[in-house]
Amino acid sequence: MVNTYIPFDFKEALEIKNLKNTFVFAGGTDLSVKHRPWSGTNLDFSKDIIFIGHLSELHEIKITNDDIFIGSCATFTEILNNINIPKYIKLPLYNIGSPSIRNIGTLGGNICNSSPAGDSLPMLYALDSELELCSIDGSRTIKIIDFITGPKENILKDNEILKNIKIPLKNFNSIYYKKIGQRKSNTITKTSIYALAVTDESHIKDVRIAFGAVSPTPIRSKQIESQINGIKKSDLTGIIDNIISQYEILINPIDDIRSTKEYRKKVSINLLKNFLLNLLT
């Protein structure tokens, strides 16, 4: 028999999580798909459920001069409707599912599901996001790039719950996001790129490039980015072939029912070239 728990507050949620081996359920847009045997059937969970989507403290969005703190149960619609969140953070969220999915799906759920095709993840990787993981023993802060370890795998402990996502703010003036799917809306990603930079009339500064759905985890290489940072725009064409060849090694997609690895790799490289040549030169 599966039990369900609805805690009064976040403290009680942590206490339950410490005592019980549970699935954490917020919006359930990923969890419901994973645990429904067939379309139209009831959900079939193998262990107890703890609901946290109703906890108001996990919906809080706080903005400082340097950072944004987004509660793990903030829905995509709540984030999109917040006028203080920069458009470059919202950009990939507009492409998540349908309005009904965005109304109940949460940023924390997208992170903890840890799918390589998670639409928010390349953005969070590129922006050096950090996660606050809490248990009754305290909290720890982990970079998202260290949190996800493989397809739908992460380092969240059995007694922990993701509480907040911290996103550092910066004034990027070159912003590029493309999601390739079977159709324009309500589709799972075949490949995606999220890239941005700070540029002036002559130089490229602080470039960030991340890919989704082309590797066991989202891809970002600060080592490759460092080869672009600080160079003159006029010099980019001279190194672009070397930059592309390095990303070709990192981009390692698979064949599945949505696409072939050859298609994913070719499109990803073409999107990268488009960003480098059309937005940075």
pLDDT the model gives residue 39? 61
Is the predicted pLDDT of residue 38 greater than 60, yes or no? no
In this structure, are residues 30 and 113 in contact, taking their beta carbons and an 8 Å threshold?
A: yes
Distance of alpha carbon 249 from alpha carbon 61, whole angstroms:
38
**Tokens linked to 91:** 């950009």
174's CB contacts (< 8 A; 6+ apart) are 196, 197, 198, 199, 279, 280
- Helix/strand/coil percent split, the chain, to 5: 35, 25, 35
Domain 4-168 has CATH 3.30.465.10: yes
User: Which whole-number Å values give the CA distances from 203 to 48, 176, 230, in the listed order?
Assistant: 55, 18, 6
Average pLDDT score over the chain = 93
* Region 174-279: CATH code: 3.30.390.50
Distance of alpha carbon 32 from alpha carbon 199, whole angstroms:
43
**pLDDT above 90: percentage of residues in the chain:** 84
pLDDT the model gives residue 34? 67
The pTM (predicted TM-score) of the whole model is 0.95
Q: Nearest 5 degrees, angle CA 213-CA 215-CA 220? A: 90
Each domain of the chain, given as residue ranges in start order, spans: 4-168, 174-279
152's CB contacts (< 8 A; 6+ apart) are 113, 114, 115
pLDDT the model gives residue 29? 83
User: Which whole-number Å values give the CA distances from 63 to 5, 38, 134, 183, 272, in the listed order?
Assistant: 31, 42, 21, 34, 31
